[in-house]
Every structure is written in C-alpha cells, then in structure tokens.
Structure 1
Amino acid sequence: MSHNTRQRRLAAQRACDHILSGLRPTTMRERLADLDAGGDLDGQPDFYGDGPVATLEERVAELLGTEAAVFFPTGTMAQQVALRYGADRTGHPTVALHPLGHLEADERHAYANLSGLRSTWPTTEPRNLTAEEITALAEPVSTVVMELPLRNAGFVLPTWDELAAAAAAAHAVGARVHFDGARVWESTPYLAHTLNEIAGLADSTYVSFYKTIGGISGAVLAGTTDLASYARIWRRRYGGEVFQQWPAALSALAGLDTELPRIPDYVRHARTVAAALSALPGARVHPEPPHTHRFRLWLPHPAQALNDAALALAEEEKVWFVAGWQDAAVPGMAMAEVTVAAPALDWTPDDVAEAGERFLGRVVEQ
C-alpha cells in the first residue's frame, strides 16, 4: 500500500460514523491526551525502567500470577530472550514451535540468526500443537512454544483440556513451555479460565500491549525471578533498556483498566457479527464461531476490488465495513481479518447484512 493510499484510507476511516471492523484512528495529540488515564502525568518519568514501567511490570505479574515480569520495547526482543533462557538452562539448542507462529512468520527467524537456535515443527496443520505431537518429538527440545491465539491460522485456540495436556506433555519430555501470548488477553472467554490460570500452565509468557488493549507499544516477559534476572541482563545486551518509556507504560496501564474488562463483550459480539457476515453471498468465516473477537472472512472477489469498495463506502456513506483484503490461495477468493471492538458493539445482524449488501454492491471487478 502506497503512503498516499494509506493516508486516504486512514482519513476515510477516521471520518466514519459507523465502524464494523477495527477502531477509529487517533492522532498523536489524542493518544497523549489519553495517557492521563494510565497514571499521574504530574509524577516523575521513568529512568531506565523504574517509575511507571516498574508499576506496569508489577501489575502484569499480578494479573498473570507470576513471580516477576520484565518490560521490553518489542515482543520480538522478549521472545528471543525467552528462547535463549530455555536453551541456556537445558543445553538444548532446538525449540519446538509452529511454522505459522510469530517466531517463524513475523520475526524473520531472529531466534536462529541472533541466538544460533534451530526449530522443529511438531505439526504444520493450521492449529495449535497437541500433546501427542509434542510427545512424539524425535529430539530433545529446550522450549515448546504455543501462540495463544494462533493468529496466522485464523486466531484459533485449543480447548482448555488440550492446552493443559500439551503443556504437561512438554514438561514430561523435559522442555520448558513458553506462551506467545501477544493476544492472550482475548483468549480467556474461549478457554474459560483466568489469565493467571492460563499463564500458570507455562514457564514463561509474553504479552503485547499494543495488541488488543490499545497501548502505544511495548511488551512484557513474565515468569520466575530467575527468568526476570536473566531477561534484564539480555534486555540490556539487546539494546532494549531505554532511557524513558513512560508513554508506552502509561498507555498500557490505561488499556489494562479500560479495554481489558470489555474483551468478553467483544468476543460475544464477534460471534453475532461473524454469523451475519457468513450469510453474505459466497462468504466464508473461520473459525465459525470465532474463538476470540477476531476472525477471518473470505469473499469471492479480487482483493483490490474489495478494498476499493470498502474505501468508497467509507468516503461516500461514512460506513467502515471490512478492509485490508488480500488475494487468497484459492483462485477468485480474497481474505480479510475482522476485529470486533467497541465501535461494533451497537451493530445488529440486520445492520451487518444491510451494510454488507451496500458494500458488495460497490464491488467492480476489472
């Protein structure tokens, strides 16, 4: 997407009166104005990790029920430290993970290029690892990684029993369990367990603050005090001990207070929205019903035609439907990710159907 196209799209979405998927974009001034909700702006900023950053670490450790938590500027850095720790403690350079996970698909194999580790894939199926697959591993591994939810498979989750069995199987083969919990916040309704119960199955958990709860940036790696001590050393070595990060910390604290309690409502309503979208001509939703408040939608049209239709509907009717379409592997189909958040809560199934009809009416194929 070109810069001009992106700016046009953001302007159109910002001007919309009704938004089905995603959030209304905010300006930097608006983001700064929101920071007051996360703490005392008259207080002192952090100095290399104290102040509001330390407060955030303590808050997340309490939420996840871990001994400690360490703030990182990026999730990529936090994940590398978690895998290095496992390799150093076990002596095994191999990690078990899913090829659709962040570590393989989005982080450019940093674990291999920066730490000399290598991976094994217990499965390539578009779902989470199972206990049977972990038990069948042909070689010792230091860490078994599970992404909750697995975004690139459609934001899918295992059941609680499946997750608990997989964690137990990993421990049985002598491996650590690491949860890539970038979006673990939205996993609690489907798993029907609290954040600390979920994190209690793992030896370490990474969470993101700009995903789901609307923070500016940043992540936390949570686990034991030994892991935390190790993480602080390697955070410094990786260049992640930043002088001041109070905007990220305050926005994360605000998100924990304001967005986190609303996620169960988003997940419930996502099932309503998904059902209405699945009734559109030729539509397919996955998973059905959604496991979180995000899911994938396919339509039988070229991606460019769908993106053009979404922009036209936004600019001419002030309705933001679904955008970000990409041509799918199946010829003639395109896929987009749908995120049901606060702006979508007042959409009824009839609203979705009517907007979908107007959206599809603007699709012009070349």
Structure 2
Amino acid sequence: MSDTATGQDEQPKEPLSAEDRMRERRSAAYRGATRVLARVGARASLRERLAGLQEAAPGVYDLDEPSDVYGNGVVEALERRVAAVLGTEAAAFFPTGTMAQQVALRCWAARTGNPTVALHALAHPEVHERNAFREVAGLRTVRLTGEPRLPTAQEIRDFAEPFGALMLELPLRDAGFVLPSWEELTELVEAARERDAVVHFDGARLWEATVHFGRPLSEIADLADSVYVSFYKSLDGFGGAALAGPKLLVEEAKTWRHRYGGMIFQQFPAALAALAGLDRELPRLPDYVRHARVVAAALRDGFAEAGVPWSRIHPEPPHTHQFQVWLPYDADVLLETALRQAEETGTYLFPGFWEQKGPGLSMTEVTVTEAGLEWTTEDVRAAVADFVGRLLAETPRTEAPL
C-alpha cells in the first residue's frame, strides 16, 4: 500500500482561525438543534440538499426529458412558470440577481437615453455589489433617501435631477424587510411615471409581499415595467434569479445575459430546485408571514417579562416572514449566549449573525418558515426567558439607547 493510500504523505492541517472556529461551531449548533424558527436549505449538508432535490424533482418536471443545454428544456419551463405567476409576457433565467438587474437597467437606459437609476441608499446594489452598476454596467445611481423606509412619492417628485429608472427593493432588506402600503406603492410608481422614468422592482423577496399588500403577485408585478425575483432567498432553491417583463425587453436581456457570461451550459439543478420552491414554498409563504407576526409579538413580550431593559422588534408587526430584533448588548455576547442556549438545550432561538450597531447595541434578523409554525406564543416566551436568563447572568444591565 502506498504512503498516499495510508495517508502518511498528508500534510498537517493549518490551525483554524478564530473566525473559522466560530463558523464551525455555529454550523454544528444549527445542525444539532432540535428547535429552530427556520430550517434554511443553504445551511444543510450536500447530502441533504441532493436528497431533497431527488425527492422533489419528479413532481415538478418530467425527468425523462433531455437535460437542458444553454437555457432550453427545464430552464425554459421555469421561465414560462415565472412569467405565468407574475403575469408578465416573458421571463429569463439568470444565474444571479446581480447580473439580472444590471442587464435590466442597462436595457432600460438604452431605451430612455438616461443611465441614471434612482434608488434607496440601502438598496442591495448600493450596499452589497461593489458598485457593479457603475463599474460594470456603466450606470449612475442617485439616492432618494437613506431613511429606514421606502422613499416617498414627494421625494421622487422633488428630486433635483432627472433619472431614467426608479428601482424599488420590495421588501427593503437592510431597513428591516420593510414595505410601503399598497397606496404608497402605487403613488411611488405614479410619481416616477410623471417624470418619464421606468419602474423596476428589485423583488428578490417579492414572493412574500402578498400578505402585506393584500394583492396577488400578478397585481403587484403589474405596477412595474420589469421585476427581478430570486429563487433561493424565500423559495429555498439552490440559486438563480429571473427577470420578468415585456417580451422585447426579456429577449434583449437574454442577449446581454450571454455577453455577461450567464449563458451556462447546464443549469438543471438550480432550475429544478426553483420549480420545487414554486410548488412547495410559495403557497406556504403567507402562513409564514402571519406566524412571524405571532412570533414577533411573543419575542417583544418575552423580553419585557424577562427583564431586558430595552428591546425593539422592527418592523412591528413584521411586513414579511423576516424581521429585525434589536437588543442593548454587544454582538459577541449575544452570539455566545445564543450558541450556548442551542448547545445546552437544543433550542437555537437566534441562529443568525448579530451585527454591532453601536456601543452596547446589536441587531439580528429573524426568519420564520415551516419549522417555526410549530412554535406557540408560550414556546417563544419560554425560549426568550431562558435566553435572557443566560444573558443577564453574565452581563450588566444597560440603559435603553436614545
């Protein structure tokens, strides 16, 4: 037997960094937890993800059909399905939302003759895409507001310079997954059209907006000239996105998709997972949204009853099945408390990352999916009481932020 076969030539592994150790610890706690508010596919093992796709795929597409090649077959089936759900003429599959939105807005810029895109300061392209609109697509962005809400119609009307497109992120994730009211949204669209601007919805999480708006997806999408949706954020797919809108726009977008390197040889795993998400998760999202409101209220009451000097649920009630929790403690303390609770009790109340927002002030995001539907108000309060008991045992009380 060779040295390689016996492992004698293997080099010792580099010691893990503190960040990597924490990541592994959080992952182990999540996998081992018996109670969570959400089971997110992206945090499952490869074996679990493949097994889930193998189970779901036969119910969403004929697996005896030829595999896709450069966007045909199951990918085209997914595009037709998305267009039907959103009520648009056509849709195009993209490997990422970053690519889909760059393409959409550069296509609109060519039509309007104005490469300026008006958006929120917290919009995804402004915060998370390394200035891709400017550096790659040749677009220019202007910020309508930085407030933790959608812009107002008056802010659009009063903006000091022209813009070719208004981009609205629905919901606005970094502001707390917030949405405007239906009346406010229609006024935003009207205000943009008064300025001869097209309207594009960054609808990465648009799927769960129907409860808040009280409207079906097709009616929501009909307000915009184009819409982008994601397949992994709410539908628990492997990845990918779609751009939906008029047929001529979508056909042009497919040309740019090729130019951007998005004409991938085969994409059937992502397409099948997206179809499965449309079948399985999309019909359940309204239940998740409604129960998130129950969970949020129980968290608020639980913190007050447990002696936390100050807490905030934002927005209250939640607009979607995701919302923010703010507490007056440092992020590393909250992260450690959440981990110890998971490791010692099997309940992982806050498996997300805690973000330091200021001295002694931190925020995390809470998601409620199928696993969370089992939690009663009493369950949430009990978990909060245990969490806070651990927290207060090791940290001094602080005053509420101003």
SS of the equivalent of 1:30 reads helix
The 5 Å alignment of 1:118-133 reads 118-133=140-155
After superposition, what is the alpha-carbon deviation per residue over 1:283-304, rounded to whole angstroms, capped at 9, x for unaligned?
2100000000100001121111
Q: Deviations over 1:307-365 (max 9, x none)?
A: 11111111111111113343443421111000011111111111111111111222234
Contact (CA 8 Å) 2:30, 2:351: kept in 1 or not? no
Matched, 1:356 2:384: yes
Compute the displacement of 1:28 (Å).
1.4
The equivalent residue for 1:158 is: 180
25, 28, 46: which one aligns with 1:11: 28
The one of 49, 55, 62 aligned to 2:84: 62
Matches of residues 108-119 of structure 1 in structure 2 within 5 Å? Answer: 108-119=130-141
Q: Using the alignment, how far apart are the partners of 1:250 and 1:27 within structure 2?
A: 18
Contact 1:148-1:184 within 8 A present in 2 as well: yes
Alignment of 1:188 onto 2:210: yes
CA distance in 2, matches of 1:264, 1:147: 19
Pairwise CA distance, 1:272: 0.7
Identity of aligned residues (%): 54
Match of 1:314 among 342, 348, 354: 342
Q: 2:323 aligns with which of 295, 311, 320?
A: 295
**TM-score normalised over the length of structure 1:** 0.97
In the alignment, residue 238 of structure 2 is paired with which amino acid? I
Quote the Cα distance in structure 2 between the aligned partners of 1:41 and 1:360: 50
How far the C-alpha of 1:35 sits from its partner, in A, is 2.1
Displacement of 1:21 in angstroms is 4.6
> Could you tell me which of 74, 83, 90 is aligned with 2:112?
90
| Distance (whole Å) between structure 2 residues aligned to residue 241 and residue 294 of structure 1 | 33
Q: How do 1:146-295 residues align onto structure 2 when only pairs under 5 Å count?
A: 146-279=168-301, 280=303, 281=308, 282-295=310-323
Amino acid at match of 1:109: N
Number of residues of Structure 1 aligned to a counterpart in Structure 2: 366
Deviations 1:23-69 (A, max 9, x none): 37322122122224242334321100011110100000001111110
Matched residues in 1 for 2:348 and 2:38: separation? 7
How far is 1:116 from its partner?
Answer: 2.0
1:332 alignment counterpart: 360
1:93 CA drift (Å): 1.7
User: Residue 46 of structure 2: which of 28, 34, 39 is its match?
Assistant: 28
Cα distance, 1:20 vs structure 2: 2.3
Contact 1:21 1:320 in 2 (8 A): no
Question: Which residue identity is paired with 2:26?
Answer: R
Q: Which amino acid aligns with 2:311?
A: A
Q: Which amino acid in structure 1 is aligned with residue 49 of structure 2? A: R
Distance in 1, Cα, partners of 2:198 & 2:150: 16
Q: Contact 2:357–2:363 (CA<8 Å) still a contact in 1?
A: no
CA contact (8 A) 1:21 1:322 kept: no
Secondary structure of 2:390's aligned partner: coil
Structure with larger Rg: 2
Task: Please say if residues 302 and 365 of structure 1, whose CA atoms lie closer than 8 Å, have aligned partners that are also in contact.
Answer: no
Question: What secondary structure sits across from 1:50 in the alignment?
Answer: coil
Does the CA contact (< 8 Å) of 2:120 and 2:146 recur in 1?
yes
| Counterparts in 2 of 1:64 and 1:100: CA distance versus 1, 3 Å | same
Distance across 1 between alignment mates of 2:336 and 2:171 = 30
Aligned letter for 2:387? F
Q: 1:41 to 1:30 in 2, by over 3 A?
A: farther
> Which amino acid letter does the alignment assign opposite residue 361 of structure 2?
M
**Which one-letter code corresponds to 1:65 in the other structure?**
G
- How far has the Cα of 1:22 moved from its partner? 4.9
With the length of structure 2 as denominator, give the TM-score of the two structures. Answer: 0.88
**Offset, 1:130:** 1.8
Match for 1:107: what amino acid? E
Distance 2:355 2:266 in 1: 41
Give me the whole-angstrom Cα distance separating, in 1, the residues matched to 2:211 and 2:355.
Answer: 31
CA shift at 1:132, angstroms? 1.3
Deviation at 1:163, TM superposition (A): 0.5
Q: 1:126: Cα distance to partner?
A: 1.2
The answer to which of 319-328 and 239-248 deviates more is: 319-328
Judge conservation of contact 2:170–2:201 (CA < 8 Å) in 1. yes
* Structure-2 change in CA distance of 1:29 and 1:44 (3 Å): farther
**Match among 103, 108, 129 for residue 107 of structure 1:** 129
Tell me how far 1:100 sits from its aligned partner. Answer: 0.2
- Could you list the runs of 5+ residues in structure 2 that have no partner in the other structure? 1-17, 397-402
**What is the distance in 1 between the residues matched to 2:312 and 2:31?**
28
Q: Distance in 2 between matches of 1:120 and 1:138?
A: 10
> How many Å apart are 1:6 and its aligned residue?
1.5
Residue range with higher mean Cα deviation, 128-137 or 230-239: 128-137
Determine the C-alpha separation between the residues in 2 that align with 1:99 and 1:245. Answer: 33
